[in-house]
Amino acid sequence: MKRKTLTQFLIEQQRKEEALPAQLRLLIEIVARACKAISHTINKGALGGNLGSLDSENVQGEVQKKLDVLANEFLIDANEWGGHLAAMASEEMDTIHRIPNRYPKGEYLLVYDPIDGSSNIDVDLSVGTIFSVLEAPADASGREIREEDFLQPGTRQVAAGYAIYGPQTLLILTVGTGVYEFTLDREMGSWVLSDERLRVPETSAEFAINMSNQRHWDAPMQRYVDECLAGKTGPRGKDFNMRWTASMVADIHRILKRGGIFMYPWDKRKPDVPGKLRLMYEANPMGFLMEQAGGVATTGYARILDVQPEKLHQRVSVIMGSREEVETVAAYHREA
Ligand code: AHG
Ligand code: MN
Ligand code: MN
Ligand code: MN
Protein backbone atom coordinates (compact mmCIF):
# COMPACT_ATOMS: atom_id res chain seq x y z
CA MET A 1 0.00 0.00 0.00
CA LYS A 2 1.30 3.46 -0.94
CA ARG A 3 1.31 5.43 2.30
CA LYS A 4 0.22 9.02 2.43
CA THR A 5 1.07 10.98 5.56
CA LEU A 6 -0.86 13.87 7.04
CA THR A 7 1.92 16.23 5.87
CA GLN A 8 1.62 15.01 2.26
CA PHE A 9 -2.15 15.22 2.43
CA LEU A 10 -2.06 18.81 3.70
CA ILE A 11 0.50 19.89 1.09
CA GLU A 12 -1.75 18.44 -1.62
CA GLN A 13 -4.67 20.39 -0.16
CA GLN A 14 -2.49 23.50 -0.21
CA ARG A 15 -1.80 23.04 -3.93
CA LYS A 16 -5.48 22.77 -4.85
CA GLU A 17 -7.38 25.53 -6.56
CA GLU A 18 -9.31 26.31 -3.35
CA ALA A 19 -5.96 26.25 -1.59
CA LEU A 20 -5.56 25.46 2.09
CA PRO A 21 -3.63 28.45 3.51
CA ALA A 22 -0.09 27.63 4.68
CA GLN A 23 -0.80 28.95 8.20
CA LEU A 24 -3.79 26.66 8.53
CA ARG A 25 -1.71 23.69 7.39
CA LEU A 26 0.86 24.51 10.06
CA LEU A 27 -1.87 24.86 12.68
CA ILE A 28 -3.33 21.44 11.86
CA GLU A 29 0.11 19.81 11.94
CA ILE A 30 0.82 21.32 15.33
CA VAL A 31 -2.51 20.24 16.78
CA ALA A 32 -1.88 16.74 15.40
CA ARG A 33 1.56 16.72 17.01
CA ALA A 34 0.09 17.70 20.38
CA CYS A 35 -2.43 14.86 20.01
CA LYS A 36 0.49 12.47 19.53
CA ALA A 37 1.97 13.64 22.83
CA ILE A 38 -1.44 13.29 24.53
CA SER A 39 -1.80 9.79 23.10
CA HIS A 40 1.60 8.71 24.51
CA THR A 41 0.74 10.14 27.91
CA ILE A 42 -2.62 8.35 28.00
CA ASN A 43 -0.97 5.08 26.94
CA LYS A 44 1.42 5.18 29.89
CA GLY A 45 -1.61 5.16 32.21
CA ALA A 46 -0.82 4.45 35.86
CA LEU A 47 2.89 4.06 34.99
CA GLY A 48 3.04 7.72 34.05
CA GLY A 49 1.26 8.78 37.25
CA ASN A 50 -1.28 10.70 35.17
CA LEU A 51 -4.55 8.97 36.07
CA GLY A 52 -7.07 10.18 38.62
CA SER A 53 -8.63 13.50 39.53
CA LEU A 54 -7.36 16.82 40.84
CA ASP A 55 -8.98 18.92 43.57
CA SER A 56 -9.85 21.59 41.01
CA GLU A 57 -13.06 22.19 39.06
CA ASN A 58 -13.39 23.73 35.60
CA VAL A 59 -15.65 26.68 34.80
CA GLN A 60 -18.58 24.32 34.18
CA GLY A 61 -18.30 22.85 37.67
CA GLU A 62 -16.79 19.51 36.62
CA VAL A 63 -13.99 17.96 38.69
CA GLN A 64 -10.86 18.05 36.52
CA LYS A 65 -8.91 14.89 35.78
CA LYS A 66 -5.13 15.18 35.77
CA LEU A 67 -5.24 14.42 32.05
CA ASP A 68 -7.78 17.19 31.34
CA VAL A 69 -5.29 19.72 32.63
CA LEU A 70 -2.19 18.06 31.13
CA ALA A 71 -3.71 17.75 27.68
CA ASN A 72 -4.85 21.36 27.86
CA GLU A 73 -1.25 22.39 28.60
CA PHE A 74 0.14 20.22 25.78
CA LEU A 75 -2.14 22.03 23.34
CA ILE A 76 -1.15 25.46 24.64
CA ASP A 77 2.58 24.67 24.60
CA ALA A 78 2.42 23.21 21.10
CA ASN A 79 0.41 26.06 19.60
CA GLU A 80 1.57 29.23 21.36
CA TRP A 81 4.89 29.73 19.61
CA GLY A 82 3.84 28.70 16.09
CA GLY A 83 2.81 32.15 14.90
CA HIS A 84 -0.47 30.97 13.36
CA LEU A 85 -2.89 31.74 16.22
CA ALA A 86 -4.44 34.92 17.54
CA ALA A 87 -5.87 33.17 20.61
CA MET A 88 -7.29 29.90 21.86
CA ALA A 89 -10.07 28.71 24.13
CA SER A 90 -10.82 25.39 25.77
CA GLU A 91 -13.23 23.54 28.01
CA GLU A 92 -10.63 23.61 30.76
CA MET A 93 -9.96 27.38 30.75
CA ASP A 94 -12.43 29.90 32.18
CA THR A 95 -11.77 32.43 29.47
CA ILE A 96 -9.73 32.81 26.28
CA HIS A 97 -5.96 32.36 26.18
CA ARG A 98 -4.22 35.09 24.20
CA ILE A 99 -0.88 34.42 22.54
CA PRO A 100 1.81 35.96 24.79
CA ASN A 101 3.61 38.98 23.39
CA ARG A 102 6.92 37.14 23.09
CA TYR A 103 5.51 35.15 20.15
CA PRO A 104 4.32 36.28 16.73
CA LYS A 105 0.57 36.16 16.21
CA GLY A 106 -1.49 34.76 13.38
CA GLU A 107 -5.05 35.06 12.22
CA TYR A 108 -6.68 31.87 13.52
CA LEU A 109 -8.65 31.05 16.63
CA LEU A 110 -8.44 27.53 18.03
CA VAL A 111 -11.18 26.11 20.27
CA TYR A 112 -10.81 22.67 21.80
CA ASP A 113 -11.91 20.01 24.24
CA PRO A 114 -8.53 18.66 25.40
CA ILE A 115 -9.94 15.36 26.70
CA ASP A 116 -13.43 14.37 25.72
CA GLY A 117 -14.96 11.54 27.74
CA SER A 118 -12.74 12.16 30.76
CA SER A 119 -14.91 9.93 32.96
CA ASN A 120 -13.54 7.04 30.88
CA ILE A 121 -9.82 7.72 31.37
CA ASP A 122 -9.44 5.75 34.58
CA VAL A 123 -11.34 2.73 33.24
CA ASP A 124 -9.34 2.47 29.99
CA LEU A 125 -12.09 3.25 27.50
CA SER A 126 -11.65 5.46 24.45
CA VAL A 127 -11.27 9.19 24.99
CA GLY A 128 -10.35 11.92 22.53
CA THR A 129 -9.41 15.52 21.74
CA ILE A 130 -11.87 17.66 19.74
CA PHE A 131 -10.89 20.88 17.97
CA SER A 132 -12.39 23.62 15.84
CA VAL A 133 -10.64 26.40 13.90
CA LEU A 134 -12.12 29.85 13.15
CA GLU A 135 -10.64 32.96 11.60
CA ALA A 136 -10.19 35.98 13.83
CA PRO A 137 -12.58 38.74 12.68
CA ALA A 138 -11.00 41.14 10.19
CA ASP A 139 -11.44 44.11 12.55
CA ALA A 140 -9.42 42.32 15.24
CA SER A 141 -6.06 42.86 13.57
CA GLY A 142 -3.86 45.22 15.52
CA ARG A 143 -5.91 45.01 18.72
CA GLU A 144 -6.22 42.53 21.54
CA ILE A 145 -8.44 39.51 20.84
CA ARG A 146 -11.62 39.44 22.93
CA GLU A 147 -13.96 36.63 23.90
CA GLU A 148 -16.61 38.04 21.52
CA ASP A 149 -14.26 37.38 18.60
CA PHE A 150 -14.80 33.65 19.20
CA LEU A 151 -18.59 33.89 19.14
CA GLN A 152 -19.05 32.84 15.52
CA PRO A 153 -21.51 30.23 14.29
CA GLY A 154 -20.21 26.80 13.28
CA THR A 155 -20.69 27.61 9.59
CA ARG A 156 -17.59 29.81 9.92
CA GLN A 157 -15.28 26.94 10.90
CA VAL A 158 -12.39 26.50 8.46
CA ALA A 159 -11.26 23.18 9.93
CA ALA A 160 -12.38 20.75 12.60
CA GLY A 161 -11.48 17.33 13.81
CA TYR A 162 -10.74 15.00 16.65
CA ALA A 163 -8.15 12.54 17.78
CA ILE A 164 -9.48 9.33 19.28
CA TYR A 165 -7.27 7.41 21.71
CA GLY A 166 -8.70 3.91 21.41
CA PRO A 167 -7.39 0.51 20.31
CA GLN A 168 -5.84 2.61 17.53
CA THR A 169 -5.04 6.30 17.77
CA LEU A 170 -6.75 8.09 14.90
CA LEU A 171 -7.07 11.65 13.67
CA ILE A 172 -10.30 12.57 11.89
CA LEU A 173 -10.12 15.80 9.97
CA THR A 174 -12.11 18.10 7.73
CA VAL A 175 -10.98 21.31 6.05
CA GLY A 176 -14.32 21.51 4.24
CA THR A 177 -13.45 19.03 1.50
CA GLY A 178 -14.82 15.82 3.02
CA VAL A 179 -13.70 13.84 6.06
CA TYR A 180 -10.36 12.07 6.24
CA GLU A 181 -9.00 9.53 8.73
CA PHE A 182 -5.33 9.15 9.67
CA THR A 183 -3.92 6.35 11.83
CA LEU A 184 -0.97 7.03 14.11
CA ASP A 185 2.01 4.86 13.16
CA ARG A 186 3.82 4.71 16.49
CA GLU A 187 7.12 3.37 15.14
CA MET A 188 7.36 6.08 12.50
CA GLY A 189 5.68 8.72 14.65
CA SER A 190 3.55 9.80 11.71
CA TRP A 191 -0.13 10.05 10.87
CA VAL A 192 -0.96 7.89 7.84
CA LEU A 193 -4.11 8.27 5.74
CA SER A 194 -6.26 5.19 6.45
CA ASP A 195 -9.75 6.14 5.25
CA GLU A 196 -10.97 8.96 3.05
CA ARG A 197 -14.19 10.60 2.10
CA LEU A 198 -15.95 9.04 5.07
CA ARG A 199 -19.70 8.82 4.40
CA VAL A 200 -22.31 8.32 7.08
CA PRO A 201 -24.91 5.81 5.84
CA GLU A 202 -28.25 7.60 5.26
CA THR A 203 -30.24 4.96 7.14
CA SER A 204 -29.47 3.14 10.35
CA ALA A 205 -31.04 1.22 13.22
CA GLU A 206 -28.61 2.13 15.98
CA PHE A 207 -29.08 4.93 18.49
CA ALA A 208 -26.83 6.42 21.15
CA ILE A 209 -28.29 8.23 24.15
CA ASN A 210 -27.91 8.11 27.92
CA MET A 211 -31.14 6.20 28.59
CA SER A 212 -30.98 6.86 32.34
CA ASN A 213 -32.21 10.39 31.59
CA GLN A 214 -35.30 9.24 29.70
CA ARG A 215 -37.86 10.43 32.27
CA HIS A 216 -36.44 13.97 32.03
CA TRP A 217 -36.70 14.44 28.24
CA ASP A 218 -39.41 16.36 26.46
CA ALA A 219 -42.19 14.76 24.38
CA PRO A 220 -40.50 14.55 20.92
CA MET A 221 -37.45 12.77 22.39
CA GLN A 222 -39.67 10.40 24.40
CA ARG A 223 -41.60 9.59 21.25
CA TYR A 224 -38.53 8.92 19.10
CA VAL A 225 -36.86 6.61 21.61
CA ASP A 226 -40.14 4.83 22.49
CA GLU A 227 -40.54 4.08 18.80
CA CYS A 228 -36.97 2.74 18.56
CA LEU A 229 -37.66 0.47 21.52
CA ALA A 230 -40.94 -0.74 20.00
CA GLY A 231 -38.92 -2.51 17.30
CA LYS A 232 -40.17 -4.22 14.16
CA THR A 233 -43.85 -4.23 15.08
CA GLY A 234 -43.76 -0.55 16.14
CA PRO A 235 -44.27 2.53 13.93
CA ARG A 236 -40.65 2.49 12.68
CA GLY A 237 -40.92 -1.13 11.53
CA LYS A 238 -37.39 -2.13 12.47
CA ASP A 239 -35.47 -3.45 15.47
CA PHE A 240 -32.99 -0.95 16.88
CA ASN A 241 -29.72 -1.52 18.69
CA MET A 242 -28.37 0.85 21.36
CA ARG A 243 -24.80 1.95 22.18
CA TRP A 244 -23.58 4.56 24.66
CA THR A 245 -19.91 5.06 25.44
CA ALA A 246 -20.09 8.32 27.44
CA SER A 247 -17.27 9.60 25.22
CA MET A 248 -18.74 11.73 22.47
CA VAL A 249 -15.68 11.06 20.29
CA ALA A 250 -16.19 7.30 20.50
CA ASP A 251 -19.91 7.47 19.79
CA ILE A 252 -19.47 9.94 16.92
CA HIS A 253 -16.61 7.94 15.49
CA ARG A 254 -18.75 4.80 15.38
CA ILE A 255 -21.48 6.76 13.62
CA LEU A 256 -19.09 8.28 11.07
CA LYS A 257 -17.88 4.77 10.24
CA ARG A 258 -21.10 2.73 10.29
CA GLY A 259 -24.04 5.07 10.79
CA GLY A 260 -26.42 5.72 13.67
CA ILE A 261 -27.76 8.64 15.66
CA PHE A 262 -26.21 10.40 18.65
CA MET A 263 -28.41 12.43 21.01
CA TYR A 264 -27.76 14.51 24.09
CA PRO A 265 -31.00 16.48 24.35
CA TRP A 266 -32.18 19.24 26.66
CA ASP A 267 -33.91 17.89 29.73
CA LYS A 268 -36.27 19.14 32.44
CA ARG A 269 -33.80 19.00 35.30
CA LYS A 270 -32.21 22.25 34.14
CA PRO A 271 -34.93 24.01 32.15
CA ASP A 272 -32.77 27.08 31.47
CA VAL A 273 -29.73 25.15 30.21
CA PRO A 274 -30.14 24.08 26.57
CA GLY A 275 -28.26 20.77 26.96
CA LYS A 276 -25.10 19.22 28.37
CA LEU A 277 -22.65 19.37 25.51
CA ARG A 278 -20.79 22.52 24.61
CA LEU A 279 -21.53 24.30 21.33
CA MET A 280 -18.11 25.69 20.45
CA TYR A 281 -15.81 22.75 21.11
CA GLU A 282 -18.09 19.70 20.98
CA ALA A 283 -21.25 20.27 18.94
CA ASN A 284 -19.81 22.55 16.22
CA PRO A 285 -16.70 20.57 15.24
CA MET A 286 -18.66 17.29 15.34
CA GLY A 287 -21.52 18.91 13.42
CA PHE A 288 -19.10 20.13 10.73
CA LEU A 289 -17.58 16.64 10.39
CA MET A 290 -21.02 15.04 10.33
CA GLU A 291 -22.26 17.35 7.53
CA GLN A 292 -19.03 16.90 5.59
CA ALA A 293 -19.66 13.14 5.74
CA GLY A 294 -23.24 13.50 4.48
CA GLY A 295 -24.93 13.34 7.90
CA VAL A 296 -27.13 15.89 9.66
CA ALA A 297 -26.65 17.81 12.94
CA THR A 298 -29.53 19.62 14.65
CA THR A 299 -30.65 20.90 18.04
CA GLY A 300 -34.07 19.43 17.24
CA TYR A 301 -35.25 22.84 16.03
CA ALA A 302 -32.29 24.30 14.13
CA ARG A 303 -29.11 23.31 12.34
CA ILE A 304 -26.34 23.24 14.95
CA LEU A 305 -23.87 25.08 12.69
CA ASP A 306 -26.33 28.00 12.42
CA VAL A 307 -26.60 28.60 16.17
CA GLN A 308 -25.17 32.02 17.04
CA PRO A 309 -23.04 31.54 20.18
CA GLU A 310 -23.60 34.02 22.98
CA LYS A 311 -21.06 32.60 25.41
CA LEU A 312 -17.81 30.69 25.05
CA HIS A 313 -18.95 27.73 27.17
CA GLN A 314 -22.53 27.76 25.91
CA ARG A 315 -24.33 24.43 25.95
CA VAL A 316 -26.64 23.08 23.28
CA SER A 317 -28.99 20.20 22.58
CA VAL A 318 -27.31 17.77 20.17
CA ILE A 319 -28.88 15.33 17.71
CA MET A 320 -26.64 14.15 14.86
CA GLY A 321 -25.87 11.26 12.56
CA SER A 322 -27.58 9.35 9.75
CA ARG A 323 -29.90 11.58 7.74
CA GLU A 324 -33.10 9.53 7.99
CA GLU A 325 -32.95 9.15 11.78
CA VAL A 326 -31.99 12.77 12.51
CA GLU A 327 -34.72 14.05 10.19
CA THR A 328 -37.25 11.82 11.96
CA VAL A 329 -36.33 13.34 15.34
CA ALA A 330 -36.41 16.87 13.87
CA ALA A 331 -39.88 16.21 12.38
CA TYR A 332 -41.15 15.09 15.82
CA HIS A 333 -39.86 18.38 17.29
CA ARG A 334 -41.64 20.38 14.59
CA GLU A 335 -44.90 18.49 15.14
CA ALA A 336 -44.83 18.94 18.93
P1 AHG B 1 -16.09 15.85 28.72
O2 AHG B 1 -15.43 14.60 29.21
O3 AHG B 1 -15.24 16.60 27.72
O4 AHG B 1 -16.59 16.74 29.81
O5 AHG B 1 -17.34 15.44 27.83
C6 AHG B 1 -18.22 14.46 28.32
C7 AHG B 1 -19.43 14.43 27.47
C8 AHG B 1 -19.37 13.59 26.23
O9 AHG B 1 -18.12 13.09 25.87
C10 AHG B 1 -20.32 12.44 26.48
O11 AHG B 1 -21.07 12.18 25.34
C12 AHG B 1 -21.17 12.89 27.61
O13 AHG B 1 -20.49 13.91 28.27
C14 AHG B 1 -21.49 11.79 28.57
O15 AHG B 1 -22.39 12.24 29.49
P16 AHG B 1 -23.10 11.27 30.55
O17 AHG B 1 -22.05 10.91 31.57
O18 AHG B 1 -24.20 12.14 31.10
O19 AHG B 1 -23.61 10.05 29.83
MN1 MN C 1 -15.46 17.86 31.11
MN1 MN D 1 -16.21 16.67 25.84
MN1 MN E 1 -13.32 17.45 28.06
pLDDT digits (tens, 9 = 90+) for 19-37: 899 999 999 999 999 999 9
pTM above 0.95?
A: yes
Please answer whether residues 51 and 67 qualify as being in contact, where contact means their C-beta atoms are separated by less than 8 angstroms: yes
Was 91 annotated as part of a binding site?
Answer: yes
Was 282 annotated as part of a binding site?
Answer: yes
Atom of ligand 1 nearest to the CA of 251: 11
Give me ligand 3 centre to Cα 238, in Å. Answer: 31
Please answer whether residues 87 and 71 qualify as being in contact, where contact means their C-beta atoms are separated by less than 8 angstroms: no
Give me ligand 2 centre to Cα 136, in Å. Answer: 26
Res. 101: pLDDT tops 90 = yes
Nearest residue (CA) to ligand 1, atom 11: 248
Res. 18: pLDDT tops 90 = no
C-beta 267 within 6 A of ligand 1: no
Please answer whether residues 198 and 181 qualify as being in contact, where contact means their C-beta atoms are separated by less than 8 angstroms: yes
Res. 1: pLDDT tops 90 = no
**Beta strand spans in the chain (E):** 53-57, 63-65, 85-90, 97-98, 108-116, 127-135, 159-165, 169-174, 180-185, 190-196, 206-208, 241-242, 261-264, 277-278, 296-298, 315-316, 318-321
Was 322 annotated as part of a binding site?
Answer: no
Q: What is the mean pLDDT of the chain?
A: 96
Mean pLDDT on 203-207: 98
Res. 165: pLDDT tops 80 = yes
Res. 17: pLDDT tops 90 = no
